Structure 1
């Protein structure tokens, strides 16, 4: 397994991989802590069994791809410039959610 990260290393990883913004990264980490997906072991942030289960469930899915959030940011910028409507963006998010939900359901209840 990879070495655990300190807070600063985790924020650096998030920055290099386009996860969150400077203003939201600390809140993302706080939310993961509150939901018990991660915990501290000394100065290191490590995943909990719940966090590892969640990761294994979504690994390889679109929802776990960092390009998803950067793509959304690009689409929101298009809305700001008037190149796309909010409704078009929300429709695409709805389709994505339907696809991901179906994918997770298939994993949880494999076809017989």
Structure 2
């Protein structure tokens, strides 16, 4: 059995920049990752912009130096992960359904933060 290999030269394009809609809107990245609720996603995005972690240029979102620094500081710890936020959101839904307690939730967060930040 013979195989023929060929090499094709080309250029790739960077992925499209996120917009406010593609990040926080229905079917957007936050929705797909289970981050926030439909009612809170726009305020989360507004907070990121107001605190200057991201900026908007011609409807596209770009990280600021401050945002990149925050990412660099948190990227390798669970505190900075969307997965952790999604877990917290899931437990909040359990509390809402009467299947979890606020006290347990807050105790777990306090314990997690203390261990993570060595407080």
Q: Identify whether the pair has TM-score above 0.5, normalized to the shorter chain.
A: yes
Deviation at residue 71 of structure 1 after TM alignment: 1.6
Deviation at residue 47 of structure 1 after TM alignment: 0.4
| Superposition TM-score, scaled by structure 1 size | 0.79
Structure 2 residues without counterparts, runs of 5 or longer: 1-13
Which protein is richer in helix relative to its size?
A: 1
Mapping for residues 38-77 of structure 1, pairs under 5 Å: 38-77=54-93
Given candidates 46, 54, 57, the residue that maps to 1:30 is: 46
Q: Which has the higher contact order (CA 8 A, sep 6+)?
A: 1
Structure 1 residues without counterparts, runs of 5 or longer: 106-112
What residue number does 2:94 align with? 78
Larger radius of gyration: 2
| Superposition TM-score, scaled by structure 2 size | 0.75
Q: Deviations over 1:37-91 (max 9, x none)?
A: 0101211010000000100110021112222222223323333444433222211
